[in-house]
């Protein structure tokens, strides 16, 4: 994936977050457990996601197998833990929603093509 495409996705994602709707964190056990383990709030999560750069990019876009749209994968070291992050900007009834599908401790080594 080109650096420009990653940057464009991040700009779109961040614009969607700051447009007032914030981030919708998919309520999965691993996501909640990681936030609790690291002592993070939803506001902390949003700050981390808004701080992502192209250097944090891992993979994507991939077709979302469950819903229309594309998924992008990133990683970030948070409080000494490598965190796997899966993001999407979804169109819900004509409105863009910033979704965080995964935010949990990485199960595998993350690869960063732009680092």
Q: How many domains does the chain fold into? A: 1
Q: Which domain holds residue 45?
A: 3-105
Q: Give domain status of residue 110, yes or no.
A: no
pLDDT digits (tens, 9 = 90+) for 20-40: 778 999 999 999 999 999 999
By three-state DSSP, how is residue 102 classified? Answer: strand
- Interior angle at CA 81, CA 72 and CA 7, nearest 5: 30
Q: What predicted TM-score, i.e. pTM, was given to this entire model?
A: 0.94
pLDDT digits (tens, 9 = 90+) for 49-107: 999 999 999 999 999 888 888 999 999 999 999 999 999 999 888 888 999 999 999 99
User: Looking at residue 79, which CATH number applies to its domain?
Assistant: 3.30.2310.40
Q: Give domain status of residue 115, yes or no.
A: no
Contact between 16 and 89 (Cβ < 8 Å): yes
């Amino acid at each position: 994936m080109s650096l420009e495409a990653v940057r464009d996705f991040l700009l779109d994602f961040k614009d969607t977050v700051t447009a007032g709707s914030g981030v919708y964190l998919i309520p999965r056990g691993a996501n909640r457990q990681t936030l609790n383990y690291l002592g993070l709030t939803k506001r902390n999560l949003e700050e981390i996601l808004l701080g992502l750069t192209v250097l944090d990019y891992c993979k994507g876009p991939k077709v979302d197998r469950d819903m229309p749209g594309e998924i992008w994968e990133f990683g970030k070291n948070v409080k000494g833990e490598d965190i796997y992050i899966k993001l999407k900007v979804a169109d819900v009834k004509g409105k863009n929603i910033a979704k965080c599908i995964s935010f949990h401790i990485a199960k595998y080594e993350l690869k960063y093509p732009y680092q």
